[in-house]
Amino acid sequence: MIVLVNLLDPEGWGTTAVDGWSIFIYPWFFVSGFVIISNERLQESIMRMRWISLAASVITWPAIDILWEALGDPSFGTWRYGLGYALYCVRAWCWLLVVFGFGRFLFGMKLLTKAPTVQSGEMAETLPPA
């Protein structure tokens, strides 16, 4: 993702007019979500590292702002642009891992309840006659 963000020119295919990311980044997040959900070991690792992901997210948030203030708005193709957007991508992934890690923790602790299940015969009794 970092390579893709740094290779796509913001004036062309890398335009950030769609919510701050190039349109080519969204499929990357989408496919990555499927990979994460389909791999139980990866999910367990994300859950174990949720606090580290949260700390990294909180640290990179002001780091990006400080970097942008210190270096100015970098132009495409410079090392400043590459560094700034690399941090931007890392921050996005960290927040994504925070959501997955704490979400799995909450589901695992049964803090979120499931809807009651209906037995096959019960549903017919509750429906009004046709």
DSSP secondary structure, 84-105, as one string: HHHHHHHHHHHHHHHHHHHHHH
- Report which of residues 4 and 106 the model is more confident about: 106
The 10 Å Cβ neighbour count of residue 11 is 8
With H, G, I as helix, E, B as strand and everything else as coil, classify residue 61: helix
Eight-state DSSP code of residue 18? B
> Contact, 102 vs 50, CB < 8 A?
yes
With H, G, I as helix, E, B as strand and everything else as coil, classify residue 21: strand
Reported as half-sphere exposure (CB side, CA atoms, 13 A), residue 54 has a value of 11
The reported pLDDT for the residue numbered 59 is: 92
pLDDT above 90 covers a percentage of the chain that reads: 13
This prediction's pTM:
0.66
Cα 94 from Cα 73, distance rounded (Å): 23
